[in-house]
Amino acid sequence: MILKIEKIGLSLEVEDELLNKLLEIGKTHYPKEFGGFLIGYYSENNMHLHITDTILPKKYQASKYNFERSTKGIENELVEFYAENLRKIYIGEWHTHPDNSPIPSATDISAINTIINSKKTSIANPVLLIIGCSNTTVDFGFYVWFENKLYKYE
């Protein structure tokens, strides 16, 4: 799947296999939210992002309307992805919205700001994937923080 934000010229690519994997992982935690870290790499001009993998948190707290993950215990997995391909880096987050739409909440926006302002991350434009899912529907919402604004990939 390739998505674009025409207004700012960014594009994003993710394989259906990875999206299905994230959905299945999310469903195992239904009706609570669940999520993880997104791994990928940018094109040479930084205008195209390819999301390739996920890392699941080792420690987290979840409810029907909230998901908070810890970074503890994932360092080795990040190093492994980087060793596999020097361009592969942490590029953002994903989580589910059980029985809800994939629209960022105020908490989601706050989490993006925390990522941007963290001295531990060096990503200027974090990506957010929200999977709105129920027993009968699934909707993927991809967003990117770009120049102090959240944009949706279409």
Read off the pLDDT of each residue in 75-89 and give the average, rounded to a whole number: 86
85-132 pLDDT, tens digit per residue, is 888 999 999 999 999 999 999 999 998 888 888 877 778 789 999 999
Q: Is 141 a residue whose pLDDT tops 80?
A: yes
Q: Is 10 a residue whose pLDDT tops 90?
A: yes
Q: What is the DSSP letter of 137?
A: -
Residue 154 banded pLDDT, cuts 50, 70, 90: very high
Residue 135 banded pLDDT, cuts 50, 70, 90: confident
What is the pLDDT at residue 37?
Answer: 96
Q: Which two tokens stand for residue 70?
A: 């810890």
26-73 pLDDT, tens digit per residue, is 999 999 999 999 999 999 998 999 999 999 999 999 999 999 999 898
What is the full DSSP assignment across the chain? -EEEETTTTEEEEE-HHHHHHHHHHHHHHTTS--EEEEEEEE-TTSSEEEEEEEE--SSEEEETTEEEE--TT-HHHHHHHHHH-TT-EEEEEEEEEETS-S---HHHHHHHHHHHH-TT---SS-EEEEEEE-SS-EEEEEEEEETTEEEE--
Domains of the chain, each with CATH number or no CATH: 16-152 (3.40.140.10)
pTM of the model: 0.93
